[in-house]
Structure 1
Amino acid sequence: MAYRSIFDASALRTEFENAGINPQFIPLIWKKVLQNPNCKWEEILSLPAAAYSLLNSKFVPLSSTLHSVAHSTDAVTSKLLVKLKSGAFVEAVIMRYDSRKGQYDGKPRPGGPRSTLCVSSQVGCKMGCKFCATGSMGFKSNLSTGEIVEQLVHASRISNIRNIVFMGMGEPLNNYSALVEAIRMMTTFPFQLSPKKITVSTVGIVHAINKLHHDLPNLNLAVSLHAPVQDIRCQIMPAARAFPLEKLMDALHLYQKNSQQKIFIEYIMLDGVNDDELQAQQLGKLLETLEVVVNLIPFNPIGSTSQFRTSSEAKVKYFQKVLREKYNIRTTVRKEMGQDINGACGQLVVSEQDKLLATSTAPLTDIEDLRF
């Protein structure tokens, strides 16, 4: 039979309740697995006798394995290749920051070192964005709750994760139920991340945005807009045809009214496509009635045959200037991390080389095996 991940929370809770076992023991099991992912169920003391037979017959500590980790040359980014029980692969990326570097409002920045984990929600993606490598895989399957959470488990053995961004492989809102359950797990014991430290990125699945705040309050929403008018969006993001810009903006206004939170707007800078002054003006007018932060993203190459080029630094700066000075929209330029390991924005794709590495390398089972 197919064993489930112990982090498939609803399945585990249902099995416990059906067997008459108090679900209050579940957090203890999760804590022990975090401490030792290779543990045997009998090593977890103080469980009811019925729990051991149930766990042995239906669950495993982890259903996925960490097969390889690639580190960027500057040591601030690590890309994890994770093999699922189906034999498919997904990627997750650890990005390390030090918020003390630089200044904010003329003063030294508070805080210190922190790590953000970029999580995948699907194997491949059906959105087909033409500037994104994941889209070239097509859609393979949704990840289960456990497979999403296990990316955090694997990453936590490498770095202390403080922030989560659902910006990896897949469209998170197309795997809505598993996404919601995974985030609820991440924000409770034993992970206890703040919802304000979790960001979900979407191309604009309107019906899911309309219920997101109710299901996951205090979450950060990021929208991959990438163009200020519908025709350009459809050219570079085919899925945009199903979610007209007018309906998307209505959904964002309603989301902000209900949540009272800023919305993050992601905008990839494509030379000669969406980066001239006209588009900057159109974007400013589109967003001026919302409270947003626009994140301008330099395009990352996804192969020698790519039809797109990266906008020049001068164009990016001028685009930012228009949004800031004319429309008073807070605008940042994303610092790209992990390009040399294909771990930057838009570059996540499981290549044949990745698969070869994964199948020819013994699974990593201990932190010492990572060999920093």
Structure 2
Amino acid sequence: MSNSATAARRSAIYLLDQVLGEGRLLSECLAAGALDRLEPEDRARAQRLASETLRGLERADRLLDNHLNRTPALTVHNTLRLGAIELCNGEAAHGVVNSMVEIISRSRKHGRLKGLVNAVLRKVATEGPEAWPKMRVPRLPEWLRDPLIMAWGADAVAGMEQAHFGGAPLDLTLKPGVNGPSGDVLPTGSIRLQDAGQVSTLPGYKAGDWWVQDAAAALPVRVLAPKAGEKVLDLCAAPGGKTMQMVAAGANVTALDVSEARMARVSDNLERTGLKAQVVVGDALEHEGQYDAILLDAPCSATGTIRRHPDLPFAKDGSEFGGLIELQTQMLAHALTLLKPGGRLVYCTCSLLPDEGEVQIEEALDMYPGMTVNRAALNIPGVEEDWITEEGGLRLRPDFWPDRGGLDGFYIACLNKSA
């Protein structure tokens, strides 16, 4: 049994404890250095194991419930969950069971339960692999599932859940004029890799020929269509994919975000790709200036990104969404004051909730008579007609492109300011 594999599993269990016990996002745990002591390969494995467990949590719990008289302490439960997921995904039973027993046996608090872990996982190893594919696709929690069904219908939500369970492939945006790693060229122009491996080892990474960006996240800049020499503001710019797109198009870009740590990542990405923008750490509501074009990727529930962030439904409960919607309204109002007459603004959120997308634009059009929706801006390659909404925005959902691996959920609209 590999000590390396056990270390990755132990760290994955810690991440699960944080998400399911403390309501923390995986990204918060990683930013706080939760996996810093691991080697890069083990760090990647721990993240993958935690994510796979969260995706399949409902199935794992159903399997485990058959062999548990009562729900054990969270760490023990998460050890069993992780073991069940690995066993049902084809990992060798001997290695998985022994590793999980070793992890629990070394716990001062739970070491006496190593026999339980051994017995339960051996039963799952026998029954689980056959039962697993017959179980239903894991569902979203009701706090999120119910409003999504109201918005899009039960069939659409079932398709989203299938996409969430399948996870997300890796999408790349290429700098103009370069060739990226070989992959599927999507209708919108992104390159999709189904089994990418370690990103930093892919051809062109060190040369800065491309950056990682979901195909849906690449569309707001294509809708904005920045032109060479234009003065453009990227509000809430981190991690910088949209900034790099606009710089690569020749625009003079000011990239702004309130987080110094996140803006450091933007600077790193710009340096790797050899692109230059003015990087500003600051509050979007206090920023001043006048711009030809603005991209506002507003803070939101991120419910459109569950394909790649399966922790979100477990770490959140929807209670903060009202505050986010109010912040979006304020940011959109302020952004419009920064826009030159005759300029254009793209508003977008990676949310599946209409209150963070369609409703925001409908209300903005009522509130600001000088603003109009630019429907023509959505006439870009790969955008399908039934993705365009009644008020003239673009609605993307994870259940779109099911045969290609789905899309992040996004809402995008382009507003023109009268001259």
Q: Which has the larger radius of gyration?
A: 2
TM-score, normalised with respect to structure 1 = 0.29
Q: When you count helix as a share of all residues, which structure comes out higher? A: 2
